[in-house]
Amino acid sequence: MLSADRLSVRFGSKTALADVSLDVPAQKIVSVIGRSACGKTTLLRAFNRTNEMIAGARTTGTARFHGTDLYGRTVDPVEVRRRIGMIFQRATPFPKSVFDNIAFGPRAGGFAGDLHELAEEVLTSAGLWADVAGDLDAPALALSAGQQQQLCIARTLAVRPDVLLMDEPTASLDPAATARIESLVHSLKATYTVVIATHDLSQAARLSDMTAFLDAGELVEYSPTATLFTNPRTRQAEEYVTGRTS
């Protein structure tokens, strides 16, 4: 349902993503692995059109969502971002209350329902409801790092996207918080399609159905996770997952 076809992204003269083609099946978790600066983030951002906010970015090839070219002339990037949500590596709560963080996206999208109901629902999904239920007006920046990332996930869920793009959501968290986020991601699979970039191979192995291995902006191998980790088709992937290089 989400696919890339010969997708390339360049920043100035630097190629960040070269000719990547892959298909993300619905209701699956796809992990994207590779060394740092291999293009993981760029690929994710290409799917919700946030690369174009970086100066000098140029995207070629196509990315499709339900058959619609996300980069088509008549496509509104704002609408793309409402359908394909993204969670960034660094948790960036807005300097406002917990409730206002949740409410920002739905309000922007013209949500007409009960925001408190919605907040309870998404905070519960994100596993944060028990922690913040007492005081939704507390400043979001007062939460712990793990809770902030949970809040960012909840806030993205509140927009009701179909796809969640997660860019190393646990990179800056302690093990306990990481475990919380991982079980959350797992539970999201029932309703969402998830693409998660990670440098943590065991996380990719634990969580995902499919795994894509990127190297220097190129897609080296895209296989079912079990295959990629036990019986990779390519030598580079094998070297990477067994830790023989890097």
Residues of this chain that interact with another protein (CB under 8 A) are 1, 26-27, 48, 50, 53, 55-56, 65-66, 68, 70, 72, 74-76, 78-83, 85-88, 90, 92, 94-96, 104-105, 108-110, 139, 141, 152, 155-156, 159-162, 191
Question: 47 or 222, CB closer to another protein?
Answer: 47
Give least dist CB 210 to another protein, A. Answer: 17
Token reading at 182:
């991982």
CB of 13 to another protein, least distance (A): 15
Tell the smallest beta-carbon distance from residue 239 to another protein (Å): 33
Residue 241 CA to residue 2 CA, distance in Å, equals 26
Q: For another protein, give the closer residue by CB, 66 or 235.
A: 66
Pairwise CA distance, residues 158 & 165, whole Å: 14
* Burial zone of 74 (CB within 10 Å; 0-12 exposed, 13-18 middle, 19+ buried): exposed
Q: How far is the CB of 189 from another protein (least distance, A)?
A: 12
Angle, helix 145-157 to helix 175-188, in steps of 10 degrees = 10
Identify whether the C-beta of residue 16 lies closer than 8 Å to the C-beta of residue 53.
no
Rounded to the nearest whole angstrom, what is the least distance from the CB of residue 54 to another protein in the complex?
A: 9
Nearer residue to another protein within complex by CB, 140 or 184: 140
Q: Select 57 or 216, whichever has its Cβ closest to another protein.
A: 57
Distances (CA, A) of 15 to 10, 18, 168, 221, 237: 4, 7, 21, 19, 21
